[in-house]
């Protein structure tokens, strides 16, 4: 701080004169406080009124917006699943034969009592002979299974084994 700054500081302090705080200053100050308090209350009341008005308008408009939105939502609702419109995809097709492999009649379907008469291997069974409940996939699986070779020996169903009474462990004890 140089001389000028010191002198400037002294000059600022020396030029201060005492001004008493008189009652009129106090009255004026408190009048200003009251005026400021009133203006603050008015601002608060006005702000509250604006907030309440905005909230009321919002609440009044909200039901209208909801009812306006409901029909659009109803139009987008999907059709019920029980609609009786038939679709061709879901209907079973019996008259469309699978052209790829011709199903060979499995040998097991031959009568069990056939005597060596071999069935021609190329014989095809028309698809109409399938049971309507059989699905195409099942028929494909049936064609993939290896057909048992036609046996010349008659395949007879073995008679049921005679019921042999096993000796019970308790027999000897009887």
Partner 1 sequence: MEQVRADGFDEFAAARWSALLHVARLLTGGDRQRAEDLVQEALVKLWFAWPKVAEQAPEAYVRTVLVRMAARSARRRWWGERPVEQLPDRPAPGDVSSTVAERSRLEDALAQLSPKQRAAVVLRYYEDLPEAQVAQALGCPVGTARSHASRGVARLRQILSDAIRPVG
23 vs 111, which CB is nearer to partner 1?
A: 23
28 vs 140, which CB is nearer to partner 1?
A: 28
The DSSP output letter for 124 is: B
8 binds partner 1 (CB under 8 A): yes
Site for partner 1 in 132-151 (CB under 8 A): none
Site for partner 1 in 11-50 (CB under 8 A): 11-21, 25-26, 28-29, 32-33, 36, 40
How far is C-alpha 117 from the chain's CA centre?
A: 60
Beta bridge partners, 104, equal 124
Record the tokens describing residue 69, joined without a space: 């939105």
Alpha carbon distance 116, 80 (integer Å): 60
Q: How many residues bind partner 1 (CB under 8 A)?
A: 27
Buried b / exposed e along 51-73 (16+ C-beta atoms within 10 A): eeeeeeeeeeeeeeeeeeeeeee
Site for partner 1 in 39-98 (CB under 8 A): 40
Record the tokens describing residue 10, joined without a space: 């002294």
Q: Is the sign of the CA dihedral 166, 169, 171, 172 positive or negative?
A: positive
Please report how close the Cβ of residue 22 comes to partner 1 at its closest, in angstroms: 9
Please report how close the Cβ of residue 19 comes to partner 1 at its closest, in angstroms: 5
Are the C-beta atoms of residues 155 and 119 closer than 8 Å to each other? no
> Which residue in 4, 77, 78, 132 binds partner 1 (CB under 8 A)?
4
Alpha carbon distance 119, 107 (integer Å): 8
8 vs 134, which CB is nearer to partner 1?
A: 8
Please report how close the Cβ of residue 43 comes to partner 1 at its closest, in angstroms: 13
Q: Which residues bind partner 1 (CB under 8 A)?
A: 3-21, 25-26, 28-29, 32-33, 36, 40
């Amino acid at each position: 701080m140089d001389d000028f700054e010191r002198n400037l500081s002294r000059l600022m302090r020396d030029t201060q004169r005492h001004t008493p705080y008189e009652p009129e200053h106090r009255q004026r100050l408190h009048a200003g406080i009251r005026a400021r308090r009133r203006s603050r209350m008015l601002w608060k009341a006005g702000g509250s009124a604006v907030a309440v008005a905005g909230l009321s308008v919002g609440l009044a408009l909200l039901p209208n917006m909801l009812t306006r939105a409901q029909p659009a939502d109803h139009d987008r609702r999907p059709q019920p699943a029980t609609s009786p419109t038939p679709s061709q995809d879901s209907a079973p097709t019996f008259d469309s034969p699978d052209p790829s492999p011709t199903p060979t009649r499995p040998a097991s379907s031959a009568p069990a009592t056939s005597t060596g008469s071999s069935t021609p291997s190329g014989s095809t069974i028309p698809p109409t002979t399938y049971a309507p409940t059989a699905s195409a996939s099942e028929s494909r699986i049936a064609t993939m299974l290896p057909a048992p070779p036609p046996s010349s020996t008659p395949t007879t169903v073995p008679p049921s084994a005679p019921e042999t009474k096993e000796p019970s462990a308790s027999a000897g004890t009887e």
